[in-house]
Structure 1
Amino acid sequence: MQAPSSASRVALFLCGCAAFLPLYATQGILGELARQFAVSIRQVSWTLTLTTLAVAVTAPFVGWLGQRWRPPAVIVAAVLLLATPVLLVATVDSFDELLLWRLVQGLLIPVIFATSVGLIGERWQGANVTEVTSLYVAGTILGGFAGRFVTALITDYWGWREAFMVLAGLVLLIGLGIHLLLAPGPAPQVFKRKAKGRFGWPLWAACAVGFCVLFSQVASFTYAGLYLSEAPFSLGTAALGSIYAVFLLALVVTPIAGRLAKARPPLHLLLVAGVIGMLGSGLMLVPVLWVIVLGLALSSTGVFLAQAAANAFIARTAGENKAGAIGRYLTCYYLGGSAGALLPALVWVQWGWVGCVLMVIGFQVAFMLIGRLGWRA
Structure 2
Amino acid sequence: MGKLQQGTTAFRKANLALFAGGFVTFSILYDVQPLMPIFSKEFGVRAATGSLTLSVTTFTLAIFMLVTSSFSEAWGRKIIMAASLILSSLIVIVTAFSPDFGSLLAFRVLQGVVLAGLPAIAMAYLGEEVEPNSLGVAMGLYISGNSIGGMAGRIITGSVTDFFSWRIAMGSIGVISLLLSIWFWLNLPESRNFKPKPLNLKGLFVSLFRHLRDPALLCLFGIAFILMGSFVTLFNYIGFQLLEPPYQLSQTIIGWIFIVYLTGTFSSTWMGRLSDSLGRRKVLWIGLLIMLFGAVLTLGEPLVLKIFGIAAFTFGFFGSHSIASSWVGQRAKTEKAQASSLYLFFYYSGSSIAGAAGGFFWAQYGWAGVIGFIIILLLCAFPLSVKLSSASVSSNAIRVKNK
2:64 maps to what in 1? Answer: 58
Alpha-carbon distance in structure 2 between the residues aligned to 1:134 and 1:310:
17
Q: CA deviation at 1:62?
A: 1.8
Compared CA separation, residues 246 and 73, structure 1 to 2 (3 A): same
Q: Return the alpha-carbon distance in structure 2 between the equivalents of residues 266 and 12 of structure 1.
A: 32
Question: Structure 1 length as normaliser, TM-score?
Answer: 0.79
**1:62 is paired with a residue of what secondary structure?**
helix
AA in 2 matched with 1:70: G
Conservation of the 8 A alpha-carbon contact between 2:53 and 2:105: yes
Equivalent residue number for residue 75 of structure 2 = 69
Higher-Rg member (1/2):
2
One-letter code aligned to 2:34: G
Aligned partners of 1:375 and 1:123: how far apart in 2?
33
Q: Which consecutive unaligned segments of at least 5 residues does structure 1 have? A: none
Distance in 2 between the 1:234 and 1:374 partners?
47
Structure 1 residues 313 and 70: alpha-carbon distance in aligned structure 2, compared to 1, 3 A threshold: farther
1:146 alignment partner in structure 2: 152
1:115 maps onto 2:121 in alignment: yes
**CA distance in structure 2 between the partners assigned to 1:128 and 1:272 by the alignment:** 31
1:188 matched to 2:212? The reply is no
Specify the SS of the correspondent of 1:190: coil
- Tell me the equivalent position of 1:302: 316
Q: TM-score, normalized by length of structure 2?
A: 0.75
Aligned counterpart, 2:53: 47
Q: 1:266 to 1:226 in 2, by over 3 A?
A: farther
Q: Distance in 1 between matches of 2:199 and 2:95?
A: 41
Moved more, 119-128 or 360-369: 119-128
Q: Identify which of 258, 273, 281 aligns with 2:295.
A: 281
Q: Distance in 1 between matches of 2:196 and 2:306?
A: 52
Are residues 55 and 374 of structure 1, via their aligned partners in 2, closer, same or farther at CA, if it must alter by over 3 Å?
farther
Which segment is superposed worse, 159-168 or 295-304?
159-168
Aligned length, in residue pairs: 374
Structure 1 range deviating more: 105-114 or 86-95: 86-95
Q: Give the letter aligned to residue 345 of structure 2.
A: T
Q: What residue in structure 1 maps to residue 339 of structure 2?
A: 325
Structure 2 stretches lacking a partner, 5+ long: 397-403
Q: Residue 349 of structure 1 aligns to which amino acid in structure 2? A: Y
Structure 1 106/30 Cα, relative in aligned 2: closer, same or farther at 3 Å? same
The 3 A distance-change label for structure 1 pair 321 and 246 is same
Residue 13 of structure 1, CA deviation = 3.5
**Structure 1: which amino acid aligns with 2:372?**
G
Distance 1:261 1:118, change over 3 A: farther
Shift of 1:128: 7.6
1:32-88 deviations in Å (ceiling 9; x for gaps): 44565x442455443223222222332322221221133233222211221121121
Match for residue 362 of structure 1?
A: 379
Kept after mapping to 2: 8 A contact 1:220/1:360: no
Structure 1 residues 262 and 80: CA distance shift in structure 2, 3 A:
farther
Question: 1:75·1:112 contact (CA, 8 Å) conserved in 2?
Answer: yes
Contact 1:207–1:329 (Cα < 8 Å) also in 2: yes
The residue that corresponds to 2:228 in the other structure is 214
TM superposition shift of 1:132: 5.4
Taking the TM superposition and a 5 Å limit, the aligned residue runs for 1:69-108 are 69-108=75-114
Query: What SS does the aligned partner of 1:236 have?
Result: coil
2:399 paired residue number:
none
The alignment status of 1:267 with 2:284, answered yes or no, reads no
**d(CA) in 1 for partners of 2:391, 2:139:** 20
SS of aligned partner of 2:118: helix
Matched, 1:173 2:179: yes
The answer on whether the counterparts of 1:135 and 1:254 sit within 8 Å (CA) in structure 2 is no
> Closer, same or farther in 2 for the Cα pair 1:128/1:41, shift >3 Å?
farther
Alpha-carbon offset, residue 107 of structure 1: 0.5
Q: Does 1:20 align with 2:26?
A: yes
Q: What whole-Å deviation, never above 9, does each CA across 1:322-374 have from its counterpart, x for those lacking one?
A: 54433322221122123433555459739646634532541453564465456
Q: Note the C-alpha offset of 1:93.
A: 3.8
Q: Deviations over 1:225-267 (max 9, x none)?
A: 4555666x434353444322222322x4257549857978993
Overall identity of the aligned pairs, in %: 22
CA RMSD of aligned residues (A): 4.1
* Other-structure match for 1:236: 249
